[in-house]
Amino acid sequence: MSYPGMAGMRATLGDVSGLIGALDDGEWAMPSAAAGWTVKDVFAHFGDLLGILASAIAGTLDTDLGIERLNDAHVAAKSLWSPGQVSDDLERQAAALLPVLESLQEEPNASTEAQLLDLGSYPVHAIPDMFSFDFYTHLRWDVLAPRGPLTGHDVAAPDEVRLKPAVGWLLAGIPKMQAGIRDSLAKPVTLALTGPGGGAWLVDPGSELITVTANGSENDAAARIESAAHAFTAWASTRLPWRDHVTVTGDGSVAATFLDALNLV
């Protein structure tokens, strides 16, 4: 069960809430590093995502849009909201959803699958991992400097609580989020992440779907892909170029073809 996901989600929500309370009007209006979104738009997205996933859990999410287009549409619909409205919406959505997610950490419901639009199907107990990743990545790579516009704000350093579920979400998404991603992986590779949230996984093309196995034998890998776990959240989502943050040993061509294709959300 994703008890670490609940802890990560609560921690990142705390980071976001603390920052919201410290922003002035000019900072709310700054362009973020998320293309087309201001800082206010990013925070509006947080509340939206909580609502979207609540609908997915309930089986009432009905749209022909993929998750990225749906996010853009919802943010655009709130473009005239005040910072206070954005903050209130986030608090309301979080207060409603957190107890639901807590209850879904236990069977018989924990393993129930929820279809998260074009991201694939996931057990509901893992949904907090998604929030941990989304909040962590938007906050630290799209809003805060050096990639984002905001400077002079203290936010907790990246740690195991925040990064473990964020990394877990990305690993779970490798086989599911991109149609045809298996075609980019000719041979197994080891993904070795260092620092908080780190570990080692064997990423294998498998017979039909890529498999991601913790502590898989490096003897089976054609290449070793090494990076800090914090940086992984940025380059795996194409916010930063992987070549600037990854060390590859072994078959560089196998690794590069896979990494060039990877784009997780």
- Exposed e or buried b for every residue in 136-174, given b needs 16+ CB within 10 A? bbbbbbbbbeeebbbeeeebeebebbbbbbbbbbbbbbb
Reported as a single tens digit per residue, the pLDDT across 66-105 is: 899 999 999 999 999 999 999 999 999 999 999 999 999 9
Going along the chain from its start, the domains and CATH numbers come out as 3-152 (1.20.120.450), 181-261 (3.30.1050.10)
pLDDT at 2: 60
Segments in the chain below pLDDT 50: none
Is the N-terminal amide bond of 4 cis, ω within 30° of 0?
Answer: no
pLDDT at 53: 86
pLDDT at 3: 86
pTM, rounded to two decimals: 0.95
